A = this chain, B = another copy of it.
């Protein structure tokens, strides 16, 4: 392996290595900007039994060409089922606390850092954890324009996170199951029977009438809970009031409407009045949350998860470089 001192300063490898997929990016700093210039993919943690081999199968060519680039990885790869067990950092946590908890080790002459997840006691007094989303949050916070004071960030997804940030630190967060509930209700419950599955389902858009109807049903009736609403996707279907092709959108509207309504209610019950939420997520999903939040009178800003993730990983590589230089 040949080193190239200049390249190692300008480039690094940033990766999100989760349960189901490994996604690596070769990144290059250009002034204040970080540009992903190449990418590679591999097996997720749960399909992988030799993490070192899998990693170098995916990224090895970059090191062959550019030398011993630093590597920073986040996600389930740092769990007790991953490459190294990297315990959750406790909240409140700012970027420097997260950087201190990055686990560093060397494999085949390459220095690899794995980002810890975060743990907290959430606003309901329950323990909560995240692993992978934290780099997106600190990607936001690394932006020079990020405001001081208290901010609410929502990261929609399979297990959505609602995060309270204050003065650059994650104070606490709680997890919503609605993303995974949507999938398992359609795939495994009576509600999904007779409805299109997987790839047969059309994408749900924020201006889909049935999505909007689901949101409206939930937010217009504070006494309607998720568990009492969901069956309506089935009963409307069997009574001929809802077409099979439209039922997933209605169900999604119910679930996202409930999640947003209940999240704002929970913050409000603690004196946290939310007038704006920053969404960080997939570009197809954020507009659905935005619609529900805007109907609830909340201003929304959307940041693609991918760019927040690169920014966060980049900040952690940077934090390490600065720490090493001291």
**Chain B neighbourhood of A188, CB < 8 A:** 184, 187-188
Identify which of B174, B190, B217, B255 contacts A126 (C-beta below 8 A). B217
- For A177, the closest partner residue in chain B by CB is B230
A32 at the interface (CB under 8 A from B): no
The answer to whether B176 touches A227, judged by C-beta atoms less than 8 angstroms apart, is yes
Tell me, in angstroms, the Cα distance from A124 to B269 when the chains sit together: 24
Quick one: copies of this chain in the complex?
2
Tell me, in angstroms, the Cα distance from A217 to B125 when the chains sit together: 9
The answer to whether A266 touches B225, judged by C-beta atoms less than 8 angstroms apart, is yes
Identify which of B158, B159, B226, B270 contacts A225 (C-beta below 8 A). B226
Contact with B along A158-195 (1 / 0, CB 8 A): 11001000000000001111101100110111110000
The answer to whether B226 touches A129, judged by C-beta atoms less than 8 angstroms apart, is no
Mind listing 7 A-B residue pairs with CB under 8 Å? A127-B232, A162-B228, A177-B185, A177-B189, A177-B228, A225-B265, A228-B263
The size bracket of the interface on A is 35 or more
A106 at the interface (CB under 8 A from B): no
The answer to whether A232 touches B128, judged by C-beta atoms less than 8 angstroms apart, is yes
Could you tell me which A residues sit within 8 Å of B by CB distance? 88, 119, 124-129, 158-159, 162, 174-178, 180-181, 184-185, 187-191, 217, 221-232, 234-236, 238-239, 241, 255, 258-259, 262-263, 265-266, 268-270
Given A126-B217, A241-B127, the answer on whether A226 and B223 have CB atoms closer than 8 Å is: no
Tell me, in angstroms, the Cα distance from A25 to B255 when the chains sit together: 41
Tell me, in angstroms, the Cα distance from A221 to B262 when the chains sit together: 12
The answer to whether B239 touches A129, judged by C-beta atoms less than 8 angstroms apart, is yes
